[in-house]
Amino acid sequence: MSQSALVPRVVSALIRAELSGVNAHTLAVALGRAEAANVKFESLSERGAALVLLQYCGYPTSLPELNVFLGTPNTLTPAMLNAHLISDDQAVNYMRWLPAFLEDADLPLQRNSRVLLRWLVTDRAAVIAADQTSLDLLRRLADDSETSAKLSALIAYTLGKCGTLDNDYERVTRHAETVIAHDRENLDLVAEALYALYPPALINALQYFLEQTEGGAPNRQQLNTGLSLLAKVAEIEDRAFWQEYHEPMGSLVDRLSAFGGRNNAVMRLLDQVEKQLAYAAYDAEDQDD
């Protein structure tokens, strides 16, 4: 069988086998490695070709391999990223290399790179935070006025969870405001970033959000935006937070009550916030006594 017929057939069979760490992306890397090793697939049986591909199969270890991995037309999913097979060193290197692909004109490459970035922050935030230089290229994207607003949520999420430089707070805040104003589908990432970076930043975000929606009844997207931010605030259990920010949060509750109208989800969250404020006030009275 010719190589042009053999390889796609074997690759399809291996994908269907659903082996750990074996998918269209890691097999694309395997094929590149096999070709670099001058493997002659035309001289192999299907079984032999499968064994060769499995031997070379793995996650990228270089920038060119990452390009191949992400450039595969198949959609990358978090389930395809096996944390046990991706080392901490690989994760840090991916963070260094990924900014080159995040706005690539090749849509599968762009889409898959963004999936990998989100996975890295979710799974390896501590490792990446320990090597701040790995975020340098992403910071350049964050500071570039030409960077797409569609990237703002991922930029805020990454720097909010992993960045430790002084200027990262300003970057996260600026890109969070962009998401609040334009790309409300990714508010969960922004809320998580603000909370990880500095919980009181959520208050500023809520205030900014209300300023952006003044003067009319909120539409569905605006309502979901408010819910995402408010839900993250309601999760805060640190009583000191509620004591210190009792006054601004009380003011926000009044404004959000008017904003949410009779929406049940908004009212449930506001009820949680009001309980936290009541507990904080009670604690303050105990301390005074």
Minimum mean pLDDT range among 118-122, 217-221, 236-240: 217-221
* Same domain flag for 161 and 184: yes
Higher-scoring residue by pLDDT: 239, 221: 239
Q: Could you tell me the residue range of the domain that residue 230 belongs to?
A: 213-289
pLDDT computed for residue 146 by the predictor: 94
* Same domain flag for 68 and 168: yes
| Number of domains comprising the chain | 3
* Same domain flag for 76 and 116: yes
* Same domain flag for 5 and 40: yes
**Is residue 206 in some structural domain?**
no
Domain-ending residue, one of 198, 227, 249: 198
**Is residue 44 in some structural domain?**
yes
- Is residue 1 predicted with pLDDT exceeding 60? no
* Same domain flag for 141 and 81: yes
* Same domain flag for 283 and 270: yes
**Is residue 130 in some structural domain?**
yes
pLDDT tens, residue by residue, 55-97: 999 999 999 999 999 999 999 999 999 999 999 999 999 999 9
Question: Over pLDDT 90: what percentage of the chain?
Answer: 58
End-to-end CA distance of the chain: 88
- Is residue 288 predicted with pLDDT exceeding 70? no
**Is residue 247 in some structural domain?**
yes
**Is residue 122 in some structural domain?**
yes
Mean pLDDT of 193-208: 87
pLDDT computed for residue 208 by the predictor: 85
* Same domain flag for 69 and 194: yes
* Same domain flag for 187 and 67: yes
Tell me what the pLDDT averaged over the chain comes to. Answer: 89
pLDDT band at 268 (very low <50, low <70, confident <90, very high): confident
Domain-ending residue, one of 167, 198, 229: 198
pLDDT band at 183 (very low <50, low <70, confident <90, very high): low
DSSP code for 60: -
Helical residues (DSSP H) of the chain, grouped into ranges? 3-17, 24-36, 46-56, 63-71, 88-97, 107-129, 136-143, 152-162, 166-182, 187-197, 201-212, 220-234, 239-244, 246-260, 264-288
* Same domain flag for 174 and 267: no
The Cα 221–Cα 275 span in angstroms is 27
* Same domain flag for 95 and 192: yes
Q: Is 104 helix (H, G, I), strand (E, B) or coil?
A: coil
Which tokens go with 48? 């032999």
**Is residue 53 in some structural domain?**
yes
Reported pTM: 0.86
pLDDT computed for residue 246 by the predictor: 87
* Same domain flag for 190 and 273: no
**Is residue 205 in some structural domain?**
no
Give, in order, the Cα–Cα distances in Å from 275 to each of 199, 200, 246, 262: 18, 18, 12, 19
**Is residue 235 in some structural domain?**
yes
- Is residue 237 predicted with pLDDT exceeding 70? yes
pLDDT band at 261 (very low <50, low <70, confident <90, very high): low
* Same domain flag for 193 and 69: yes
- Is residue 284 predicted with pLDDT exceeding 80? no
